[in-house]
Amino acid sequence: MASYLSDKQPNRKDSRQINFRVSEQDYLKLSQSAKTLNMSVPAFVKKKAQGARIVAPKIGAKEAQELARQLAKIGGNLNQLAKHANQGGNVPAQALQELQSEVAHIWQQLT
């Protein structure tokens, strides 16, 4: 069994590793930039080294959670209206307009 474990290759996407040191001040800058982008420091540095243009998200994590909550609420309302319509009921135009207005409000926050 020991020979089986020693023959096993690590399951990594990339085969080469690069290590380097930075000053505490540089690390704090890298860490802050990575945190702003919701990335790890190694992932951020790798993207920058590859020349990727990294754009900061327009909304923060808390705002994204709130938008997800609002979208879930809208989805529930839409499902109720669809069920009502599929059972032969009449869907009021005002209900559809309210949903459209809520979606437009969320879209405005994202752009």
Q: Which residue has the higher pLDDT, 26 or 111?
A: 26
Which pLDDT belongs to residue 21? 93
Please write the tens of the pLDDT for every residue from 26-75. Answer: 999 999 989 888 889 999 999 999 988 888 777 777 888 898 999 999 99
**Token reading at 50:** 């590859």
Mean pLDDT of the chain: 86
Please write the tens of the pLDDT for every residue from 85-101. Answer: 999 989 889 988 998 99
Cut 0.85: pTM above it: no
Burial of 25-62, coded b for 16+ CB within 10 Å and e otherwise, reads eeeeebeebbeeeeeeeeebbeeeeeeeeeeeeeeeee
